Amino acid sequence: AVALSEQGILAGLPKASVWIDLSTNNLECERRIRAAATDREIAFLDAPVTGGIEGAAAGTLMIMVGGDKHVFARCKPVLEKIGNRIMHLGPHGAGYVAKISQVVLCYLNSVALSEALMLGVMGGVPAATMLGIIQGSTGASYVADRYGPAILDGSYDHGFALGLAHKDLVLTLELARTVGATLPMCEQVEAIYKKAVDQYGFDQNHLMAVKLLEEQNGTFLRSI
């Protein structure tokens, strides 16, 4: 309704303009929007971003773009105002595919990190010590560095909503069905995040999925 209704975004755009969609979306939605835009002689680029709140504030987002290369070249100076890693990945939909494929790792890694911490803590290793070991070993990752402290202090990171994380996982499974991929780990993690949303609410912090594991084990991963 926001995009395609009579009072929607598309209705207010003049001919020969470009609609740049920065959201994380699915391929069917992209096709519908692009078809409607084409009917109005409006170009369309899918250009989802990654980099979080910090990247948006600093203008250092990574922007993954799908669509006509000439339209991309025309719009690149605009995208450079908000990002410093701007990639044209191919035809329409390529940006969405890349964004979904990379962002799902964040959620898989978050669950894997919490389980590794839980195993260590329940085995007698202090949580902060266990996190340091992970950060200095083959298990090191952005997730461990960025989100590990937010698990240990009980804040569960304020940067992203739990419900939006679950939405990304749903989009992942939709994309998997579209391309014929079997992703058993993604299916399990989606179920974990869905349960967390049902239990804690859509607007809670995205690492509340870790709290679910803590409550299941009766053990909280804290640095004290």
3-state DSSP of 101-152: HHHHHHHHHHHHHHHHHHHHHHCCCCHHHHHHHHHCCCCCCHHHHHHHHHHH
In the structure, what pLDDT confidence band is assigned to residue 220 with cuts at 50, 70 and 90?
A: very high
pLDDT of 178 strictly over 60: yes
**For 133-177, what is each residue's pLDDT tens digit?**
999 999 999 999 999 999 999 999 988 999 999 999 999 999 999
Q: For 112-135, what is the mean pLDDT? A: 98
Split into its structural domains, the chain has a count of: 2
pLDDT of 1 strictly over 70: no
Is 200 part of any domain? yes
Are residue 40 and residue 134 in the same domain, yes or no? no
Mean pLDDT of the chain: 95
138, HSE (Cβ side, Cα atoms, 13 Å): 0
Is 4 part of any domain? no
Percentage of the chain lying above the pLDDT 90 cut: 88
Are residue 77 and residue 115 in the same domain, yes or no? no
Three-state SS at 28: helix
Are residue 71 and residue 169 in the same domain, yes or no? no
Are residue 72 and residue 126 in the same domain, yes or no? no
Q: For 51-55, what is the mean pLDDT? A: 88
76 catalytic residue (yes or no): no
Are residue 161 and residue 66 in the same domain, yes or no? no
Tokens of 45: 């680029």
In the structure, what pLDDT confidence band is assigned to residue 3 with cuts at 50, 70 and 90?
A: confident
pLDDT of residue 224: 60
Helix (H) or strand (E) holding 49: strand 49-50
CATH code of the domain in which 71 resides: 3.40.50.720
Are residue 73 and residue 101 in the same domain, yes or no? no
Q: Which domain holds residue 24?
A: 10-91
Among the candidates 60, 91, 122, a domain finishes at: 91
pLDDT of 198 strictly over 90: yes
Q: For 34-46, what is the mean pLDDT? A: 94
pLDDT of residue 195: 98
Is 23 part of any domain? yes
Are residue 64 and residue 109 in the same domain, yes or no? no
Is 5 part of any domain? no
Give yes or no for a contact between 211 and 196, defined as CB atoms under 8 angstroms apart.
Answer: yes
Between the CA of residue 160 and those of 2, 71, 75, 212, what are the distances in Å? 22, 31, 28, 17
pLDDT of 125 strictly over 80: yes
Among the candidates 47, 70, 91, a domain finishes at: 91
Catalytic residue among 15, 76, 99, 211: 99
Give yes or no for a contact between 155 and 145, defined as CB atoms under 8 angstroms apart.
Answer: no
Are residue 111 and residue 175 in the same domain, yes or no? yes
Q: Distance between CA atoms of 118 and 151, rounded to whole angstroms?
A: 11
Are residue 44 and residue 112 in the same domain, yes or no? no
Are residue 104 and residue 187 in the same domain, yes or no? yes
Are residue 107 and residue 87 in the same domain, yes or no? no
Are residue 136 and residue 212 in the same domain, yes or no? yes
In the structure, what pLDDT confidence band is assigned to residue 2 with cuts at 50, 70 and 90?
A: confident
Is 112 part of any domain? yes
Among the candidates 39, 72, 91, a domain finishes at: 91
pLDDT of 9 strictly over 90: no
